[in-house]
Chain A
Amino acid sequence: MADKLHATAPIGAEAISANGLRLALAPLAEAASLGAFAGSGRAELLACVRAEFGVDLPQTPKAVTTADGLVTFLWCGPSQWLALAPAEASGPSGASSGGQGLMARLRASCGAVCALSAQGDSRTALRLSGPGTRAVLSRLVPVDLHPRAFRAGDVALTLAGHIPVIVRHLDDQPEACELLVFRSFAASLFHDLHVAMTGHTS
C-alpha cells in the first residue's frame, strides 16, 4: 500500500515579526463542533462534558480550557460550541496522533446528545501577540477590544475586514489573541494582518 498522505499547512507563509508583534499559525491537531440537540440534550451535554473534561461549557461568548490544557471549548452560538485541540498541547506526536484523541473522546462522552462534526481542517488558527495586539486588531475587527470589554477568555464571532473570524483573547501579559478563520480564507487573513501590523499595502 502507498505511503500515508502528508499534511499541508493552510498557508505557505512563515511566521512574521514586525514592530514587536508576532503573527504565526497555531496548528490545530483537531477540532470539533458540538451542537446540542433539543430538549434535555443541552443539560445532558453540559453534564457529559463536565464529566469527561472537567469544565462547564460556556453559555456566553467565552472560552474555557481543560485543566490539562489539552482542550479548549469556545462558545459558538446558542447551543453550539467548538472544541479545539491545539497540536502543540497534544504531546510530542503532534498533528498526526494528537488529533485522533479529541473526536474519539467526544464521541464516547457526548455523541448521543449533540451533533459532532470534525472541524480541525475547517478552521485555521492564527495567533497575534505582542504589545499593540489590540491596536493592530482594531484595524480589522469591529468589536470593542479594550481590556475592560475583552479580557482573557473572551470570544467574539465577528469579522476581520471582510473575513468572518472567531477572535479569542488569550492573555494580557503579553497581549495575545487567536483568530480562527475558515481555512480557505487563511491566506487572505494572514495578508490583511500583515498589512495591519506593518502598514505596507502590498
Chain B
Amino acid sequence: MSGAASHPKAGAQPMRVANGNAVDTSRTLHFTFDGRRLSGHPGDTLASALLAHGIHLAGRSFKYHRPRGILSAGPEEPNALVELRDGARREPNTRATVAELFDGLVARSQNRWPSLAFDALGMNGLLSSVLGAGFYYKTFMWPASFWEKVYEPAIRRAAGLGRAADEADPDHYEKATTFCDVLVVGSGPAGLAAALAAGRAGARVILCEEDSLPGGRLRAEHMTLDGAPAADWVAKACQALAAMPEVTVMTRACVFGTYDGGTYGVLERVADHKPVPAEGEARQRLWRIVARRCVVATGAIERPVVFPNNDRPGVMLAGAVRTYVNRFGVAPGRRAVVYTCNDDGLRTARDLARVGVKVAAIVDSRPEGTGAGAQVARDCGAPFFAGASLADVYGSKGVKSVLVRDHAGQAHNIACDLVAMSGGWSPNIALTTHQGARPDYREDICAFVPSALPPGMVVVGAAAGVFDTAEALGQGAQAGQAAAALCGFETALPDLPRAEPASYGIQALFHALKGVAAAKKGKAFVDFQNDVTARDIGLAAHEGFVSVEHLKRYTTLGMATDQGKTSNVNALALLAEVSERSIAQTGTTLIRPPTQPVAIGALAGAHRGPHFKPERLPPTHQWAMAQGAVFTANGLWQRAQWYPRAGEQTWQETVNREVRTVREAVGFCDVTTLGKIDIQGPDAAEFLERVYVNAWKKLPVGRARYGLMLREDGFAYDDGTTARLGENHYVMTTTTANAGGVMAHLEFCHQWLWPEMDVQFISVTDEWAQIAVAGPKSRDVLRQIVDPEYDLSNEAFGYMAARSVTVCGGQEARLFRLSFSGELAYELAVPARYGAALAERLMQMGAPYGIAPYGTEALGVLRIEKGHPAGPELNGQTTAHDLGMGRMLSTRKDFIGRVMAQRPALTDPARPTLVGLQPLCATDTLAAGAHLLPQGALATAAADQGWISSAAWSPTVGSWIALGFLANGATRLGEVVAVHNPLAGTVVNARVVSPVFVDPEGERLHG
C-alpha cells in the first residue's frame, strides 16, 4: 500500500495555490526525484509536481552542465529531461513536462556528477571558449589516435544525456494500422470544433491528442466559453464526440509524421503513465493511420527571448506559467517578472496575481502606449516598463533578481524568483512540412505559417496563425465540415460556444542583446538543449555558415529530442540579423519526421527476438524435431541441418555418416523448400523455351529436364528441373532462395513481355511435401512405398522420368527420378499433410535397407561431390559458360539473356570457369572464399585467377574437396594451384580436377 504512512518524509506542496482544472487534489501520489520523496496528485506531470514543491532545478545542460529548470509545460521542453523508472524499464531523456505522475514514480535528473546541485563538470562553462560553435570539428581534429582514447570517452562522459536501461525491455509494443475519412490532429478549440463538425456528418473521424487530456490551451488559459470555464465546454465536446459511433478520440497519441498518400505515423503512449502496463497491455502502440483528409490543429509553441542568462532555472515561458497556474493549480514562483512583446504574455501577470503571486514588474518590449501593458500593470499593482528589456538574470540554481533596462537605458535590479517570458507564438507546423514544403514568414504575427500543404491536409487555429479562440473555433468547424463533405458526408455546422475576444498585438522580439555577435558578458541561449548561444550563431555566421542548414549542422542547433521547437525561429532571426537578410530570406531548415522521439521498441512492435521475422517450416519439421535434428535457417525456412545419433561426437561425424548412408545404402531428405511452380496453358512449352536457355518443346510427357535461366544481362539466374506432367502442364522447380523471385520473373515475362501467351502460373511449393530418396537402395525402399501397379524398373522409369503414382494404398503422389547426389535417386511428392507420415513410413520400410534421414549439410557435401552448382556457384556473377553449360544455350530460339550472353567478355575462355579442386595433402583444408593463384605467385589482385565457391570434407573421396572458378579452368585439369586463404592465413596446394568427384560416368545415376 502506498500512502502517507509509507512515505513519512513526503513533503507538502507549498506552491500548490489553486485548484487546477486537470488535477484531482483529493488524492495524493508519491514519487521520488533524485531520491527525495515528494508528492503530487492525479493529473500532475512530473514537472508540475516538482514546481508544486518549488523545485525548478531539473537537470544540467548538455555541453556546459549549466543548471537548468523547467522551461515549458509541454512536449517542446528542451531542459527538463529526466530518467524515469528503474532497472529494465529505466528510460532516459524523458521530458518532465509530459511525464504523467503515478504513485511510486522514480525519477532522476541527468547529466550531472556527482549531484544535480554540485556538478563537477559545471566548469565546462569556463571552457566555453573552446566549446563554441563547431567545437567538435575544430578541437578534436588531431592527433587521430587521441580520438578513440581521449576525446571520445571524455565527450561521452561530459556530454550525452541519460542512461539507457542495461537490460532487455520487458514490455510489449504493438503496431497497428487504421483508416479514417478525417484525421484531426490536436484537440484545442480548432481541433475539437473540426472533429465535432466532421463527426456529426457521419464521417469516420479520428481525433489524436498528444496530451493525456483533450483541450489544448483551453485548459491552460483562464478563459470562458459560453460564460463557463473553457474546460467545461471541452468536457461537453468530448461527451458529444463519444456519442458519435464513428468518432475515435485517442489521447496520449502523438501524430509524429506525415507520409505519402495520406499516411500518418502516430505514437500512442498506452501505459507510459502507469508503473507497469496492465496484463496483456502494450506499453506503446505505433499507429499507421491512413486518412483521406487531415485537419491539422496542432496549436502553437511559444518562443523564449534571447537575453543574457536566460537559461536560469526559474526563467519560463509565459504561457507555460499560465498552464501551471490554471491547469495544475501550481504557482511557479512567489515574485514574478513578466517579460513580453505581446498582449498574450500579459495574461500571465493577471493569472499570477489572481493566485496571489506578486508581480514584481511587467517588462514590455513594445514602446509606451502600445498594447495593454499599462492597464494590466495597474490591475496587478506591478511596476511597468514599456520599451524595456531584460539585460541579465542573477542567481545560479534559481532566479534571484533580474536587470531591467528601461526605455531610456536606465538599469533596474528587480528581485524575483520567476521570469515569465514571451517572444510570441510560433505555429506548430511540423506536420505540414514533412514532405518538403518550406513555410512562409508572416511579418504581422512574426511567425512562419504553412505554405503548400500535402494533399488532403488543411491547417486551422493557432497552427495556421489564428490565435483568436472564436476564430479558431469557427475555422476548425468549417474545416471539419469541408473535410467530411469531400469524403461524401454533408451536414450543417455544429453550434459553437461564445469565446471572449483577446488581443495579441505582437511586435518582433527575438533577442534583447545589443548585437548578436557582441553578446560577451553572460551567455544568451538560443537553443537550451544543445547549449547554442547567440554568440555561437554570430560566430558561425562570421565563419561563413549563413545557410540555415549549415548553421544547424555546425552549431548542432535544433537537434536532439526537442528538435529546436523553442529555438529554431529565434536562431533564424538572429542569423537573419547578422547576415543582414530578412527572416523570410533566411528561411527555415527542413523539418523531418518524427516530431517527437519514438522508441525503437515501438517501431519494432511484436517483431523482436526470435519473432523478428516469420519462419517457414517444411512438412517434416515436427518429425525432424522428434528425431533430434539440428536446424539451420535457409532464408525464412528452418531446415534440418543434420540428424545426430547417440555416440556421435561431432557434427562432422554425423554428416560423414549421412553421406556414406546415401552413397552406400539409402537416405532421404525433405526438399520441399525448393520452389515449385505449376505451369499450365496452351503456350506453356513455348513459354519455357523463352525463359530457359535450353529447349523444351520436345520434352515428352512423363519426363523432366534440367533447366538454366539467365537474367537479361546474360548472367545465370536460377536453375532447377522442370517436369512435363501433361501436354500443356509442367511443374518447375527453382532454388529455395529464388522461389519468390522466379515467380515474379515468370509473371513479369508473361504480363509485360509476352501478354499474348496463354499460360498460367501458381505456386505449389507448399502443396507438396517433396522428399528426396537417394542411394543405391532407393528403388528397393520405394518399391515398398509406391503401390505395386507402378513399374519402377530402370526400363520403365528411367533417369529423369516423372509421373503421377499412388503410394501406401492409394494416396495420390508424384514421383520424379531426379538426383542431386549422383546416386540412383528419386523425389517423391505427396500432399503436404502427409509429409510427416511419409517420413515415418520411409524410416519404417527403409529400415531393412539401412535408411537414414540426412540434412542440408550432407545434401551440400553430396552435391559438391557430384559437381552440381548451387547458390554459391549461381551467385549472379557467373555465366552459363563459367558453369560449363555454355553448350546448353540454344541458338534456335529467343530466350531471356540470349543476346547479352553472347557478349565476348561473357564467353571469354580466360574467364574463371567451374573446376574441382583437391588438396595435394589429404589433411589440408579448403575453404569457400579462398583465392586461386599460380603456385609461387605473390598474393596480389593482379595474380588472382579465381576463387573457391564451395568446399567440404568428402568422406567418399577421403579428403577436402572444393568447387571453384579458375581462369581457363577447362584447360588446366591436373595443374596444381595455390589456394590462398587470407582469413586463415594459409596457402594450400591443390590439384585442378573435374568438378565431378563421384561417378563421372553417371553409372550410378542411370542404374
Contact = CB atoms under 8 A, between A and B. Distances in A.
Contacts of B900: none
A4 B836 contact: no
| Main SS class of interface, B | mixed
A5 B808 contact: yes
Nearest to A182: B766
B618 A184 contact: yes
Interface string B743-782: 0000000000000001011111111110000000000000
A144 to B, nearest CB: 4
A146 B606 contact: no
A161 B832 contact: no
Which of A1, A8, A189 gathers most chain B CB within 10 Å?
Answer: A8
A5 B838 contact: yes
B766 A184 contact: yes
A187 B607 contact: no
A141 B41 CA distance: 40
Contacts of B174: 139, 196, 199
Given A4-B808, A38-B758, A122 B763 contact: yes
B619 interface: yes
Interface in B204-263: 204
Interface string B282-296: 100000101000000
Interface stretch (A49-57, A66-74, A113-121, A170-178): A113-121
Interface string A182-202: 111101110110011011111
A14 interface: no
Interface in A93-137: 95, 114-123, 135
A7 B834 contact: yes
Contacts of A2: 784-785, 808-809, 841, 845
A29 B796 CA distance: 34
B191 interface: no
Contacts of A35: 680, 760-762
Contacts of B830: 5
A56 B209 CA distance: 47
B681 interface: yes
Which of A116, A135, A183, A200 gathers most chain B CB within 10 Å?
Answer: A183
Interface stretch (B115-123, B445-453, B553-561, B608-616): B608-616
Which of A148, A162, A201 gathers most chain B CB within 10 Å?
Answer: A201
A199 B281 contact: yes
Contacts of A138: 176-178
A115 B678 contact: yes
A108 B242 CA distance: 57
Contacts of A117: 678, 680, 762, 764, 767
Interface residues of A, number: 61
B172 interface: yes
Given A7-B837, A161-B607, A199-B281, A118 B622 contact: no
Interface in A11-51: 12, 19, 33, 35-39, 41
Contacts of A200: 172, 280
Given A37-B681, A37-B758, A187-B617, A5 B837 contact: yes
B614 A161 contact: yes
B810 interface: yes
B838 A115 contact: no
B280 A122 contact: no
Interface in B821-857: 830-838, 841, 845
A119 B767 contact: yes
B614 A139 contact: no
Contacts of B179: 144, 146, 149
Given A5-B807, A5-B811, A122-B764, A192 B614 contact: yes
Given A37-B682, A139-B174, A163-B614, A121 B767 contact: yes
Contacts of A185: 614-616
Contact of A19 (B280, B680, B766, B785): B280
A91 to B, nearest CB: 18
A1 B680 contact: no
B24 to A, nearest CB: 28
Contacts of B785: 2
Contacts of A199: 172, 174, 279-282
Nearest to B768: A121
B350 interface: no
A16 B225 CA distance: 52
A11 to B, nearest CB: 9
Contacts of A61: none
A39 B757 CA distance: 10
Contacts of A122: 763-767, 832
Contacts of B605: 139
A28 to B, nearest CB: 9
B592 interface: no
B175 interface: yes
B712 interface: no
A37 to B, nearest CB: 5
Contacts of B91: none
B801 to A, nearest CB: 21
Interface in B771-807: 784-785, 787-788, 807
A130 to B, nearest CB: 15
A8 B833 contact: yes
A32 B556 CA distance: 61
Given A115-B760, A117-B764, A188-B615, A8 B808 contact: no
B615 A187 contact: yes
A189 B681 contact: no
B637 interface: yes
A12 B626 CA distance: 13
Contacts of A121: 766-769, 831-833
A2 B781 CA distance: 13
Contacts of A114: 760
A33 B762 contact: yes
A183 B619 contact: yes
A8 B837 contact: yes
Contacts of B837: 5-8
Given A8-B622, A12-B622, A121-B833, A162 B282 contact: no
B69 to A, nearest CB: 38
A20 B862 CA distance: 53
Interface in B410-443: none
A8 B678 contact: no
Contacts of A144: 179, 290
A162 B615 CA distance: 10
Contacts of B758: 37-39, 41
B177 A142 contact: yes
A148 B768 contact: no
Contacts of A146: 179, 204
A150 to B, nearest CB: 10
Contacts of B762: 33, 35, 80, 115, 117, 119
B761 to A, nearest CB: 8
Nearest to A139: B176
29 contacts: A2-B784, A2-B785, A5-B830, A5-B838, A8-B619, A35-B761, A37-B682, A37-B760, A38-B681, A38-B758, A80-B760, A115-B760, A117-B762, A119-B764, A119-B767, A120-B767, A122-B766, A139-B174, A144-B290, A184-B617, A184-B637, A184-B765, A184-B766, A188-B614, A188-B615, A192-B606, A195-B611, A201-B608, A201-B609
Interface of A: 1-10, 12, 19, 33, 35-39, 41, 79-80, 95, 114-123, 135, 138-139, 141-144, 146, 148-149, 161-163, 182-185, 187-189, 191-192, 195-196, 198-202
Given A5-B830, A41-B758, 16 more contacts: A1-B808, A5-B838, A5-B841, A36-B760, A37-B682, A115-B681, A119-B762, A135-B176, A138-B177, A161-B614, A163-B614, A189-B614, A195-B606, A199-B279, A200-B280, A201-B608
List 3 tightest A-B contacts by C-beta distance, closest first: A35-B760, A115-B680, A199-B280
Interface of B: 172, 174-179, 204, 279-282, 288, 290, 605-609, 611, 613-619, 622, 637, 672, 678, 680-682, 729, 758, 760-769, 784-785, 787-788, 807-811, 830-838, 841, 845
